[in-house]
């Protein structure tokens, strides 16, 4: 049985219809964006470490 991975859907920015909605939603959106950027940074750093570890293992195998 094969498993398929679901791709992440494209992110659409939320566009409020009224100024009141914008004032209520903006702090949430800012916090959400900051959390997402922090998660992306952690994910990127973890991937870089894995790639670096793989490169070190490959190099030590041939040296």
pLDDT digits (tens, 9 = 90+) for 31-49: 999 999 999 999 999 999 9
pLDDT at residue number 3: 55
Please give the Cα distance from 32 to 40 (Å, whole number): 12
Domain membership of residue 54 as a residue range: 29-62
Mean pLDDT of the chain: 79
Whether this model's pTM surpasses 0.85: no
Q: pLDDT band for position 54 (50/70/90)?
A: confident
Residue 49 lies in a domain: yes
pLDDT at residue number 56: 86
Q: Region 6-24: what's the mean pLDDT?
A: 67
> Domains in the chain: how many in total?
1
Task: Check pLDDT > 70 for residue 21.
Answer: no
Residue 41 lies in a domain: yes
Please give the Cα distance from 38 to 57 (Å, whole number): 29
């Amino acid at each position: 049985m094969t498993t398929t991975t679901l791709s992440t859907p494209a992110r659409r920015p939320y566009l409020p219809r009224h100024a009141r909605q914008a004032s209520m939603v903006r702090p949430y959106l800012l916090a959400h964006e900051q959390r997402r950027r922090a998660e992306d940074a952690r994910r990127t750093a973890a991937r870089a470490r894995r790639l670096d570890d793989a490169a070190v293992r490959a190099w030590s195998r041939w040296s």
